[in-house]
Amino acid sequence: MTGEVDTPEQQAVAREAAIESMVLLKNAGGVLPLRMEKVRSIAVIGPNAAVARTGGGGSSRVTPKRPPVSPLDGIKERAGGRYNVGYALGCSMEGEDKTKETPAARAALIKEAATLAGKSDVALVFAGYSPDTEQEMYDRKLELPAGQDELILAVTKANKNTVVVLNSGGPVLMGRWIGQVPAVVAAWYPGQEAGRAISAILFGDANPSGKLPVTFLKAWSDSPAYGNYPGKNLTVEYAEGIYVGYRHFDRKNIEPLFPFGHGLSYTAFAYSDLKVSPQKAAPGQPVGVSLSVRNGGALEGAEVVQLYVRDVESSLDRPMKELKAFRRVALKPGESQTVSFSLDRSAMAFYDEGKKDWNVEPGAFEVQIGSSSRDIRLKATFELAP
């Protein structure tokens, strides 16, 4: 151990971790990645553009040894002299300015940003939260901080090639503008190499492979906590029980904005040849699952294959499916690979409150293989013998 901190090797690890975590939520019309044959001028806009949002507030706030790389700096570094990069604040971050931004001042900033967007080939809006608007000890709103929805709408009206990059630790309501914005990236809080990691995704130096670990909902009323939170007298009833996240959306047949496990790529993956063995398993016998995944696109990329299990014949109320395993597989263009899983007793078990123990019942089970909880590509069944 040398005790060295912030070495080039460590910076590379931080950058790669940030790249692999980012999720391409939407990419209509192939706006991303940015290509010189289509894009020569870039408008970089927003309260999270010129500052690196390395983390939220509270215990997650860490000060890097050297100044972190902002998205604006990362884009300028990557663009070099090949692209014309302009910058506009658009609006201040709510909670950061001790002097509150007046409506007139905000309108002027938004107008300036829209003007810049209108003169550019593509507009990149960096929105979301900050350590002051998302931190421990209180729950943030699902809506973006004041002014950001209006900024996105104004920029999109001025430039149809608008990309929104979000800094957040969880879901964001996008109903006011998601229909007008062709591309959205969830960058989360990407650490000290934020700007370089974001630039790698935007310019296609890296192919996005992250998947959503949560469900992004269309409206607060769709949430499993709706009607229970915030409760009364500092008391919240967790009436949703086991139906949280994608389980709730499946049970209620609610279409999410972006489902659990969702994440796009600059290439395309095909699933085939699902096999489950044995077809009838003895108690305690593992069940093997295998399938083939092929990269059918022109770019190297990575896919996260997700395995869900449905208990077809449970005596108790059970979710429609539950994630039991996943595997990340990197493939070159045209390359195929066999992905294998082994399901043990825990994959078929549920907690029985009456017995105060985990229970596995005999009967039929369904294996569902998907690219997200709502993008199920393959299905097969097996039986668990008594």
Question: Where does the chain show beta strands of DSSP type E?
Answer: 23-27, 41-45, 84-88, 122-128, 162-167, 183-186, 269-277, 280-281, 287-295, 301-311, 322-331, 336-343, 350-352, 357-359, 363-372, 375-384
Contacts of 271 (CB under 8 A, 6+ apart): 291, 292, 293, 305, 369, 371, 377, 378
Structure-block tokens of residue 331: 């493939």
What's the confidence (pLDDT) of residue 318? 94
Alpha carbons 161 and 153: distance in angstroms, whole number: 12
**Domain count across the chain:** 2
280 and 191 in a common domain: no
Q: Is 140 part of any domain?
A: yes
Question: Are 28 and 105 members of one domain?
Answer: yes
What does the radius of gyration of the chain's CA atoms come to, in whole angstroms? 23
In this structure, which amino acid lies at residue 184?
V
The verdict on 275 and 196 lying in the same domain is no
Residues 44, 181 within the same domain: yes
Q: Considering the domain boundaries, does residue 176 fall inside one?
A: yes
1 pLDDT above the threshold of 60: no
Q: Which residues pair with 109 in a beta bridge?
A: none
Say if residue 163 is in the same domain as residue 32. yes
Distance CA 260, CA 247 (A): 10
Residue 229 in domain: no
Q: Is the pLDDT of residue 327 over 70?
A: yes
Give pLDDT, residue 66: 85
Indicate the pLDDT class of residue 371, thresholds 50, 70 and 90.
very high
Residue 13: inside a domain: yes
- Is the model's pLDDT at 61 over the cut of 80? no
For residue 309, the domain's CATH number is 2.60.40.10
**Does one domain contain both 161 and 281?**
no
Q: Which residues contact 204 (CB under 8 A, 6 or more apart)?
A: 32, 33, 34, 35, 266, 299
Asked if residue 193 and residue 61 are part of one domain, the reply reads: yes
pLDDT above 80 for 16: yes
CA distance 332 to 351: 42
105 — phi, psi (to 5°)? -65, -40
> Is residue 59 a part of any domain in this protein?
yes
Mean pLDDT of 358-370: 96
Tokens at residue 41, please? Answer: 């001028």
Cα torsion 94, 97, 101, 107: sign = negative
Specify if 234 maps to a domain: no
Phi, psi of 20 (to 5 degrees): -70, -20
Pairing of strands 162-167, 183-186: parallel
User: pLDDT at position 99, please?
Assistant: 64
> Is it the case that residue 24 has pLDDT exceeding 70?
yes
What predicted TM-score, i.e. pTM, was given to this entire model?
0.95
- Which of 153, 176, 202 marks a domain boundary? 202
* 16 and 155 belong to one structural domain: yes
Q: What angle do CA 189, 193, 197 make, to 5 degrees?
A: 80
**Reduced to 3 states, what is the DSSP secondary structure of residue 376?**
strand
Q: pLDDT at position 2, please? A: 61
Domain boundary among 202, 230, 246: 202
The pairing of strands 375-384 and 363-372 is antiparallel
List, in sequence order, the alpha helices (H) in the chain. Answer: 8-21, 71-79, 103-118, 148-158, 194-202, 246-252
Better-scored residue on pLDDT, 3 or 81:
81
- Do residue 280 and residue 197 come from a single domain? no
Average pLDDT over residues 352-378: 95
**Around 70, how many Cα atoms within 13 Å sit in the side-chain half-sphere?**
14
Residue 211 lies in a domain: no
Lowest-pLDDT range of 37-51, 95-109, 112-126, 304-318: 95-109
Residues 20 and 157 in one domain: yes
Q: What's the rounded mean pLDDT across residues 65-89?
A: 94
Q: Name residue 122's beta-bridge partners.
A: 42
Q: Are residues 57 and 195 in the same domain?
A: yes
Query: Is 214 inside any structural domain?
Result: no
Per-residue pLDDT reduced to its tens digit, 127-181: 999 988 888 888 889 999 999 999 999 999 999 999 999 999 999 999 999 999 9
Q: Give the residue numbers spanning the domain of 155.
A: 8-202
CB 183 within 8 A of CB 28: yes
| Contact assessment for residue 262 and residue 211, using Cβ atoms and an 8 Å cutoff | yes
Using the 3D structure, point to which of 181, 202, 223 is the last residue of a domain: 202
pLDDT in tens, 255-302: 999 999 999 999 999 999 999 999 999 988 999 999 999 999 999 999
Do 34 and 176 fall into the same domain? yes
Distance CA 94, CA 147 (A): 8
CATH number at residue 13: 3.40.50.1700
| pLDDT per residue as tens digits for the range 85-97 | 999 999 999 877 6
- Mean pLDDT rounded to a whole number for the chain: 94
